[in-house]
Amino acid sequence: MEDPSPKNASSPPNWDSIDEDIFCPLCAYNLRGLVEPRCPECGFRFDWPELLDPARRLHPYVFEHHPESNFRSFRRTLWGGLRPKRFWQSLHPAQPSHPRRLLLYWLVASAVFCVVLSLSLIIPNAISLASRNRAIRQVMNTPNDPGFVKMVVQSHGSLDAYYDEIAPPVASWAFLVSLISDTFPALIPLMICYIAWPWLTFASLMVFRWSMRRTKVNPTHVIRCVVYSFDAAMCGVLLIMGVELTTLCLAPGALYYIVPVTASLIVIGSIVVMAFRVYVAYKRYLRFDHPLATIIASQIIALLGLFNILLLLGRVL
Ligand SMILES: [Zn+2]
């Protein structure tokens, strides 16, 4: 049988020796008979071997393609994304997308992010609350004002009941409730930002898809770009947790000024890294024109959307 592969990446294949139809991986346009390696429907530029070589359709490690080793493929996908140029060169639109696996990847990354974020806020809050309550109990343990004692006993039944209410001990339900009510006002907006940001980015990129005459591009590919770029937030929060635990072990007194400053820098760094990764995805994976301008505009739109969500949340809460 004659070799259907082109002599080089841009020369046309021998269509007479290819039995199956070959479709554009972004918009599913039938490319059979074409000479130029460019989809006339969506403008996607490719090399013929990327579409014709079946061996290239399975990615070596990405989570979507390897359900047989979930933990390993998750770890390797997360790690691979830290080198976005290499990652987005290795992943090609012709490698089929599996939306359920993609969603599962995002849900697992989000669950890990939310748990680690909660712990990173709860641990310092718990230490601070326990130390405050201990101090209150020590100061108020021996009240010498009989009028005050009488008033407290009348209103709370006993001095201990009063202390348990205003400064509950660590191993108590009241302490847990107090800890949660102290932590939630910061935790909820951060979680909402984390969950909303990638999808606001996706929505804004869909707008640009229309304005750039790339309407035929399957949205799954845009979701792929967003999910494999925004998982960097998980690495960011793990880094914050690492800084927090290290500070707790080495210099606990510095916890309340080293960690907030470091965490702010890591958050800013993570946002820049995530935007850069979407930019690389748009440049090397979707091969859009003007990827930098597109991503900057999409992030401004996403940021405005987030402000609106937080304003709305502020009114509701
Ligand atoms: Zn196309």
C-alpha 72 to ligand 1 mean position (Å): 33
Q: In this predicted structure, what is the pLDDT of residue 199? A: 93
C-alpha 86 to ligand 1 mean position (Å): 23
Residues 115 and 64 in one domain: no
Residues 311 and 204 in one domain: yes
Phi-psi sector, 21: left (phi>0), alpha (psi -120 to 50), beta: beta
Q: In this predicted structure, what is the pLDDT of residue 63? A: 95
Count of domains forming the chain: 2
Residues 21 and 115 in one domain: no
C-alpha 196 to ligand 1 mean position (Å): 29
In a domain, 248, yes or no: yes
Residues 51 and 103 in one domain: no
C-alpha 67 to ligand 1 mean position (Å): 28
In a domain, 68, yes or no: yes
Q: What is the mean pLDDT of residues 221-233?
A: 92
Predicted confidence (pLDDT) per residue in 79-135, tens digit: 999 899 999 999 999 898 899 999 999 999 999 999 999 999 999 899 989 988 888
95, 59 contact by CB (below 8 A): yes
Predicted confidence (pLDDT) per residue in 1-51, tens digit: 445 555 566 678 888 888 888 999 988 899 998 989 999 988 888 888 888
Residues 106 and 244 in one domain: yes
**Closest residue by Cα to residue 278 from 199, 215, 213:** 199
Instruction: Quote the CA–CA distance of 14 and 242 in Å, as a whole number.
Output: 56
Residues 198 and 271 in one domain: yes
Predicted confidence (pLDDT) per residue in 173-209, tens digit: 989 999 999 898 889 988 999 999 999 999 999 887 7
Final residue before a domain boundary, out of 23, 51, 83: 83
pLDDT level of residue 137 (50, 70, 90 thresholds): confident
284, 89 contact by CB (below 8 A): yes
| Residue range(s) defining the domain that contains residue 231 | 99-125+173-316
C-alpha 30 to ligand 1 mean position (Å): 8
Residues 257 and 284 in one domain: yes
In a domain, 264, yes or no: yes
pTM beyond 0.85, yes or no? no
